[in-house]
A and B are shown apart, each in its own frame.
Chain A
Amino acid sequence: MSATTRFLPLAVLLLFVGAVAWRLAVPRDDRVASKLEGQPVPLFALPAALPAKPGLASSDLARGQPRLVNIFASWCVPCIAEAPMLIELKRQGVPIDAIAIRDRPEAIAAFLTAHGDPFDRIGADRDSRVQIALGSSGVPETFVVDGAGIIRAQHIGPITVADVALLRRAWEAAR
């Protein structure tokens, strides 16, 4: 048996240990990065969802300042759960716009009265067209858009307490 074959099993062991040690050192990240990250926001212009607030267009998202865009609906229960987190982000100085999905003005108004209103602008997306163009598959979702209108992050599902810091960091990184 030649020297190389004699040591081959050891080499395989080292490969195994290397791969596994790497996994122990770098914890698994099951998050699949959104394909939209780095892409510009698709062109859209949504009418105002409430008479008192302006609507939302893609041009509003490219004015030099990074913003969050929250996709929500008054009929969405997880949106209630994340409402306090959005209020907290707003309190920390993060500007937030929103797109209301398949909703009615009076229902939106009632939702915002009950759970707080952190939004600067709210666009009404009555047939989910803009939601689909944005690559969002459900409510709630939150996008981080930088000052040039480029999507920097996509958060799927309700914002939890732990996500607040993550979103804030993503927003700061977009500046």
Chain B
Amino acid sequence: MIAEAGLAALWLGAALAALQLGLALGLGGAGDRQLGAVRAVAVGQGALSLIAFAALVALFVRTDLSVLLVAENSHADKPWLYKFAGTWGNHEGSMLLWVTVLALAGAVVALFERRLEERTLGMSLAAQAALSLGFFAFLLAASNPFERFDPAPLAGRGLNPLLQDPGLAFHPPTLYLGYVGLSVAFSLAVGALVTREVGPALARAMRPWVLAAWILLTLGITAGSYWAYYELGWGGWWFWDPVENASLMPWLAATALLHSLNVLASRGGLRAWTMMLALIAFSMSMAGTFLVRSGILTSVHAFAVDPARGTFILVLLTLYIGAALTLFALRIATVREGAPFEIVSREGALVANNLLLSVILGIVFFGTLYPLIAEAVTGEKLSVGPPYFDAVASPLALGLGALMLIGPQLRWRRDSLPIFPRLAPGLVVALAVLVATILLAPTIGLLPRLGLAIGAGLVPASLMPLIGRSLRRTPLATWGMCVAHLGLAVAILGMASDSAFTREKLASAVPGERLEVGPWLVEFRSVVPLAGPNWTALEAELRASRGGGATVLKPQSRFFTEPPTTTNEAAIETDWNGQLYAVLGAQDAETGRWLVRLWWKPFVTLIWLGGMLIALGGTLALIGRAWRARATRRRFEEAEW
């Protein structure tokens, strides 16, 4: 019953999306009443897709094995949380989540957006309806999540054990909310290009969406990075895997968009560029999802590989992105440009920021696609990995960091006052750290060394905009900017420290042996078997000490029966100045020795702390902007009264 209700809601939602598209397109220049109808239909569409998604969640939580999707991806013995998370741990469920968020975003725009010119809003709601209609059609035609399965099996096939982790419950939906949040920026840009109303009002309508999506992407990427770090047991935090790149590209575009939106909102400049980024950001989200879902690129994230589905989504995204970019190419010449500015100014720095982010985006984009293009053209099979991305993207990212030492201290339009006093704290700290690393750690590489210097310099530099102001009266958005920039400084310090100072030890050991890694002395004590709810494991006991006091680490090698898989559960000891990371590998059958892998990673936690700070900064800015918008509206209404 639940499955049929869900399917019915899905069909009705699709019908309402078609209705919304037709109504909004037919709107033309017409009045309030029809826009009211579009708003109502958009809300109905959002509610129906939410009902469909809730139905699927209910089916997974109850483990209704008569539904094919549940039987294939869930298991009666699975812990409750993973039954719940299993809803989106598969192709159909995640596409349903995607459509649900898309429709809900449309509903929220329809309900709350009052500042935008009516015709632009109507066109934007038409674009949003076109987007969700396509994905509804995809679900109904090629990925029905509610298909029945007869006869129902007794147990179900289970969820990939790598995904049976609390992190999974929140990582994909967070990223999806971020991806799809950018759809609103896309739709608003399309609407504004149709009506040629590109201006500060549009930027202000777009900004909360981009900000919210960007916060969620930041959180999702940070969480995903930490998940890969502790779950895969490889001791790394970023692998340049195609799917990681698929989440990084929309983030880069959204970061650039966020900065150029500020220029558009407060100075009316960078119109064409901002519209371009708004289209690119969501295009990257769609392309990313497509690459993940179609199995086009080889990746640890590859799920179902199905050419028919791949073709369907490819046609959809070609239509959407192609139409939007064509509209852009045809219309942008007629969009008025905004106020001029000089190179040494806040705008100039933001343009430089945008260019650097876009170049990094381009590098990641071509690096990700290059194996495909190379094989298509020359027939040669190759892969592009960390050596390329690290070598090309890191210097540019450091350039971006160096720019951040300067940019936020500059004023709008032009800066003629002596600017050095404002730049001094950051530059002095950066230089001091650079000299200190040359003297104290002469052997580390150039990039980590520069990373340490720039990261350290950014700590005072990111707080400079707060200096000399009354902290209580400083707008929350400025606080947000400072906290986010500080977060990036902290993350850069963590990355640089990890790559400069990590110590690794790979040993084949028997219980009783002592191993040394960095400042730690680790005693390998024992290996004991262990049983969990749906796995059995071998657990090692390692006693680690440096100086006084000792701590016990218990890395596991876990065996899941449904489906049969082995995972390595790393044991991580977090200290104030870094993490000790231990992995238990296989036992050599002949010698009886165990493979033990240890890492000492100084200050590695700063990477994710930085990510959280960036998201916190975004949240502060979002709250600050919403607050201010409300205050302005209230003043406006009082004046009208």
Contacts and interface: CB of A to CB of B under 8 A. Distances in A.
Interface stretch (A11-19, A95-103, A122-130): A11-19
A21 interface: yes
B467 interface: no
A169 interface: no
A27 B332 CA distance: 39
A9 to B, nearest CB: 5
Contact of A19 (B283, B298, B321, B372): B372
A162 interface: no
A167 to B, nearest CB: 23
A1 B280 contact: no
B376 A19 contact: yes
B213 to A, nearest CB: 20
A6 B321 contact: no
Contacts of A16: 287, 369
B130 interface: no
Q: Which of A16, A22, A26, A28 counts the most chain B CB atoms within 10 A?
A: A16
A20 B307 CA distance: 11
B4 to A, nearest CB: 33
A24 B314 contact: yes
B328 A24 contact: no
Q: Which of A6, A7, A17, A26 counts the most chain B CB atoms within 10 A?
A: A6
Interface string B276-302: 100110010001001100101010000
A43 interface: no
A7 B327 CA distance: 10
Contacts of B326: 10
B408 to A, nearest CB: 28
Given A19-B373, A24-B296, A32-B381, A10 B322 contact: yes
Given A15-B373, A17-B318, A24-B311, A1 B325 contact: no
A20 B372 contact: yes
A23 interface: yes
A7 to B, nearest CB: 5
B332 A13 contact: no
A166 B242 CA distance: 32
A44 B502 CA distance: 51
B263 to A, nearest CB: 16
B310 interface: yes
Interface residues of A, number: 20
Interface in A1-51: 1, 6-7, 9-10, 13, 15-24, 26-28, 32
B329 A10 contact: yes
Interface string B343-387: 000000000000000000000000001001100100001000000
A6 B329 contact: yes
B333 A23 contact: no
Given A6-B328, A10-B325, A17-B314, A27 B373 contact: no
Nearest to B272: A1
A9 B325 contact: yes
Nearest to B317: A17
A23 B325 contact: no
A20 B296 CA distance: 7
A80 to B, nearest CB: 21
B322 A13 contact: yes
Contacts of A32: 381
Q: Which of A7, A9, A24, A27 counts the most chain B CB atoms within 10 A?
A: A9
Given A19-B369, A21-B314, A22-B376, A13 B294 contact: no
B321 A24 contact: no
B318 A23 contact: no
Contacts of B372: 19-20, 22-23
A1 B198 CA distance: 16
Q: Which of A7, A15, A28 counts the most chain B CB atoms within 10 A?
A: A28
Contacts of A9: 276, 279-280, 325, 328-329
A12 to B, nearest CB: 8
B530 to A, nearest CB: 30
Contacts of B276: 9
B479 to A, nearest CB: 35
Contact of A6 (B280, B307, B332): B332
Contacts of B328: 6, 9
Nearest to B279: A9
Contacts of A10: 322, 325-326, 329
A9 B283 CA distance: 11
A35 to B, nearest CB: 14
B22 to A, nearest CB: 27
Contacts of A15: 369, 373
Given A6-B332, A9-B325, A24-B294, 5 more contacts: A9-B280, A13-B283, A13-B322, A17-B318, A27-B307
Interface of B: 272, 276, 279-280, 283, 287, 290-291, 294, 296, 298, 307, 310-311, 314, 318, 321-322, 325-326, 328-329, 332-333, 369, 372-373, 376, 381
Closest CB pairs A-B (n = 5): A6-B329, A22-B376, A19-B372, A10-B325, A9-B325
15 contacts: A1-B272, A1-B332, A6-B329, A9-B329, A10-B322, A10-B325, A13-B318, A13-B321, A19-B372, A19-B376, A20-B296, A23-B296, A24-B294, A24-B311, A26-B376
